[in-house]
Amino acid sequence: MVDYHAANQPYQYGPSSGGNGGGGGVGDYMAQEDDWDRDLLLDPAWEKQQRKTFTAWCNSHLRKAGTQIENIDEDFRDGLKLMLLLEVISGERLPKPERGKMRVHKINNVNKALDFIASKGVKLVSIGAEEIVDGNAKMTLGMIWTIILRFAIQDISVEETSAKEGLLLWCQRKTAPYKNVNVQNFHISWKDGLAFNALIHRHRPELIEYDKLRKDDPVTNLNNAFEVAEKYLDIPKMLDAEDIVNTARPDEKAIMTYVSSFYHAFSGAQKAETAANRICKVLAVNQENEHLMEDYEKLASDLLVWIRRTIPWLEDRVPQKTIQEMQQKLEDFRDYRRVHKPPKVQEKCQLEINFNTLQTKLRLSNRPAFMPSEGKMVSDINNSWQHLEQAEKGFEEWLLNVIRRLERLDHLAEKFGQKASIHEAWTDGKEAMLKQKDYETATLSDIKALIRKHEAFESDLAAHQDRVEQIAAIAQELNELDYYDSPSVNTRCQKICDQWDALGSLTHSRREALEKTEKQLETIDQLHLEYAKRAAPFNNWMESAMEDLQDMFIVHTIEEIEVQQLVPKRDDALLEEQSKQQSNERLRRQFASQANIVGPWIQTKMEEIGRISIEMNGTLEDQLNHLKQYEQSIVDYKPNLDLLEQQHQLIQEALIFDNKHTNYTMEHIRVGWEQLLTTIARTINEVENQILTRDAKGISQEQMQEFRASFNHFDKDHGGALGPEEFKACLISLGYDVENDRQGDAEFNRIMSVVDPNNSGIVTFQAFIDFMSRETTDTDTADQVIASFKVLAGDKNFITAEELRRELPPDQAEYCIARMAPYQGPDAAPGALDYKSFSTALYGESDL
């Protein structure tokens, strides 16, 4: 039972018991006050300091409720502001006060306040409601000091000490580095003002220029500390510098009250700083993840644009007209393979690495899995890439086939031109010859000679029939093979055929004319028979001479000479072709020799990488170092691939289409090389993510090896991933109830949604160890972030942009402001932002 009425007992105030910690309760140290302190209890200077300090302290809390006191003796007499003060500093509701003006109402209100103080474990002695209602200054100051002790000092705890001793130790720890500061008590240690300035500078160095303070100027020091505290720390001025300096021993209770405000201001700031640090850490994780998501989206978009732009080019199989144009197209394809595609292979590999790293970080930070935009999943990229490689697969073969066809066309066109030129040279002047009327003035012998000559021409004409047919056949083949210059070929062929027909007609007409003339001359010859008989020897001689002369004219002498000239040319062509084929064979052997080294080397490296990642020898760091050494050895091997590319280019330029000396084509080597680069990069990334997971979840090396052994046991094809059935078998072996029944299937489907959120149909080792260690991670939660925001918001259910900008770094403050929805609660204020929905959205529990 609290004694409120022992008014006649000697004046005492303060709790007689209670407290905690190794330093004793708040009542204990009161019992230790020495006689000198009690003798000076009524010192007017001390009372003045207490009145000012206690009033300022009360107002620092009452202003939160929109009110204040002017006179500490008078303004608590009705008990109303006293009850309000207790409600503000405790955060609890007191019984409803009585609003009457009568003394009994005031006493009842004060008693409610004193009862509340007693309920907090404070034993009040000699303080009664009547003294407070009567405006007893000493009793009122004593009561306020009791409240200060209980609510501002008692709960201070520093290194196993509490209350007064805890506050003193805190001051000593904070001011230890400062020269001319030696805090041993709460009176004379503070007279020169340096201790106050040191406390501020320790926590807010930008507010105090400590090195410029002088110990011999206490008033300036004190006023500087008081003004800075009021302006920047929201600590009201509770003391007067002159009062402290002019008092031999400043009032301990006033100093303690004021210093406790620093403790709470800075401990509150520390609490706010801790909350802000937690929020900053969470936001930093989210911002980094968002940057990774944005990078993934951009890289995926750019890669898809390139793929979609490239596929139509590879699928465009419309041949060019000339070998030169097709060879340029082949050169463009070489540039694509050597210059344009390799960086895209790296980008695709990096895209997968970024995606896997992001998903690992999201899992480790208790965030939902990342779902890329529609059409930009890793599977979508892979499908598009497969389409690209399918289009690419037959492109080079098509190019070479077209070049081979054009080469044949050029050969046929050249052959056509040669035969046509020979024929045209032969027919040159033949029409004019056949149109001659030389037989009209010829003698019978002339006619017979002309007939013999004509018969020789007819034989020659018949012999040329095959050439004309060959020319027509070549022209027909050029047309069928869609030769680009077919119109000119057709025109020339048609001219030859038309001329041939004309020559045939003219030959027939000349024969008829010669035969007719021969008959006419034979008749005349009969008439001159006698003359002929007499002139027979001469005529025979003449005819023989003429025949000999004519024979020299109609034989193929010139052509025979031309054939003799073509023989050495043909020999030269054969020698040139032999040299070309010998060179081609050297190129084949040269390429095959290099390819038969590079191909097996790539295959061996692929197998070795697989063994490293599966066997798991040594620590993860050992594996990572080993893999990076392999990666460097692969990079160092690149000149061998470049040499092979150069040899392949020489083979293509020589139009060599087969190579019996090797089973490796350049395309096989290229695909193997790309797979090797992708595999080593992906494997390194997997190990890096395993290290992230291990460190975040505290997995030991032994546990990691156990996880790997279990995984490898069910990874039958050693592909580095488990199919659904393999994973189910693994779970069953580990004791999970996922048997083939309704309940087991539901549980298995739930687990699969965790380990394979993107429905890829496989479970990677990374996802497996994430699942196996899912309960060991100590991560921030949405509730913890909400609690941190609540601290920054001063326990409000909302926060303002001003508070965010004050408590957080600029970029993170703006990040929150841009994403927080307006607060819609009943206690909403202008500009209020909803930090609760924002916090839950960070963890995927709702949408921003």
pLDDT tens digit string along 630-649?
889 888 998 998 998 888 88
pLDDT of 82 higher than 60: yes
In tens, the pLDDT along 484-516 reads 888 999 999 999 999 899 989 999 998 888 888
Average pLDDT over residues 87-115: 89
> What confidence score (pLDDT) does residue 787 get?
87
In this structure, are strands 832-833 and 799-800 parallel, antiparallel, or unpaired?
antiparallel
Residues 6 or more apart from 242 whose CB is under 8 A from it? 219
Residues 202-231 pLDDT 10s: 888 899 999 999 999 999 999 999 999 999
Q: Are 113 and 79 in contact (CB under 8 A)?
A: yes
Q: Would you give the end-to-end CA distance of the chain in angstroms?
A: 56
The first and second tokens of residue 368, run together, are 């939902």
Indicate the pLDDT class of residue 312, thresholds 50, 70 and 90: very high
Looking at residue 822, the DSSP 8-state letter turns out to be B
Q: Estimate the share of the chain in helix, then strand, then coil, as percent rounded to the nearest 5.
A: 70, 0, 25
Q: How far apart are CA 360 and CA 362, in angstroms?
A: 5
The yes-or-no verdict on residue 528 having pLDDT over 80 is no
Question: Residue 756: its pLDDT value, please?
Answer: 82
pLDDT for residue 70 is more than 60 = yes
Count of Cβ atoms closer than 10 Å to residue 657 Cβ: 12
Per-residue pLDDT of 598-615, as tens digits, reads 999 998 888 888 777 666
pLDDT (average), residues 301-313? 93
Whether pLDDT at 270 is above 90: no
What's at 546, amino acid-wise? Answer: M
What is residue 841's three-state secondary structure?
helix
* pLDDT value for 224: 95
CA-to-CA distance for 48 and 246, rounded, in angstroms? 13
Residue 23: predicted pLDDT: 37
Q: In this model, does residue 11 exceed pLDDT 70?
A: no
Q: If DSSP states are collapsed to H, E and C, what string results for 781-806? A: CHHHHHHHHHHHCCCCCCEEHHHHHH
Are the CB atoms for 714 and 725 separated by under 8 Å?
Answer: no
How would CATH label the architecture of 438-541? Answer: Up-down Bundle (1.20)
CA distances from 216 to 126, 180, 221, 349 (A): 43, 11, 9, 71
Q: Which fold has domain 44-277?
A: Actin-binding Protein, T-fimbrin; domain 1 (1.10.418)
Domain ranges of the chain: 44-277, 288-407, 438-541, 603-773, 782-843
- Average pLDDT of the chain, as a whole number: 82
Give the pLDDT band of residue 775 (cuts 50, 70, 90).
Answer: very low
Can you tell me the distance from the alpha carbon of 261 to that of 257, in angstroms, rounded to the nearest whole number?
A: 7
More confident residue, 27 or 324: 324
CA distance 83 to 58: 12
Using a pLDDT cut of 70, give the percent of the chain over it: 87
Question: At residue 531, does pLDDT exceed 70?
Answer: no
pLDDT tens digits along 404-462: 888 888 888 888 899 899 888 888 888 888 888 888 888 888 888 888 888 888 888 88
Q: CB–CB of 807/816 below 8 Å? A: no
Q: What are phi and psi of 622, to 5 degrees?
A: -60, -45
Structure tokens that stand for 572 in this block: 């030269």
Closest by CA position to 772, among listed 826, 833, 840, 704: 704
Backbone dihedral angles phi then psi of residue 719, each to the nearest 5 degrees = -85, -5
E strand or H helix at 440: none
Q: State the maximum Cα–Cα separation within the chain, in Å, rounded to a whole number.
A: 199
Residue 16 has pLDDT above 60, yes or no: no
Per-residue model confidence (pLDDT) at position 535: 56
Amino acid found at 345: V
Joined tokens for residue 512: 């008829």
CB-side neighbour CA atoms (13 Å) of 455: 8
| Model confidence at 12: pLDDT above 50 | no
**DSSP readout, 570-615?**
HHHHHHHHHHHHHHHHHHHHHHHHHHHHHHHHHHHHHHHHHHHHHH
333-337, 398-402, 579-583, 698-702: the lowest-pLDDT one? 698-702
Nearest CA among 294, 291, 234 for reference residue 264: 234
Distances 563 to 109, 456, 470, 567, 575 between C-alpha atoms, Å: 140, 20, 19, 6, 19
Same fold, 603-773 and 782-843: no
What's the fold here for domain 782-843? Recoverin; domain 1 (1.10.238)
pLDDT above 70 (res 527): no
Query: pLDDT tier at 41 (50, 70, 90 boundaries)?
Result: very low
Rounded Cα distance between 504 and 809, Å, is 103
CATH pick for 603-773 out of 1.20.58.60, 3.40.366.30, 3.40.50.2000, 3.30.230.10: 1.20.58.60
Which pLDDT score, from 0 to 100, does residue 19 have? 35
Between 643 and 738, name the one with better pLDDT.
643
**Domain 288-407: CATH architecture, name and number where available:** Up-down Bundle (1.20)
Name the residue among 233, 400, 256, 285 with its Cα closest to residue 331: 400
Task: Judge if pTM exceeds 0.75.
Answer: no
Nearest residue to 467 (alpha-carbon basis) of 503, 422, 434: 422
> Span 742-756, mean pLDDT?
81
> How far apart (Å, rounded) are the C-alpha atoms in residues 390 and 393?
5
CB 362 within 8 A of CB 370: yes
- Comparing 501 with 572, the larger pLDDT belongs to 501
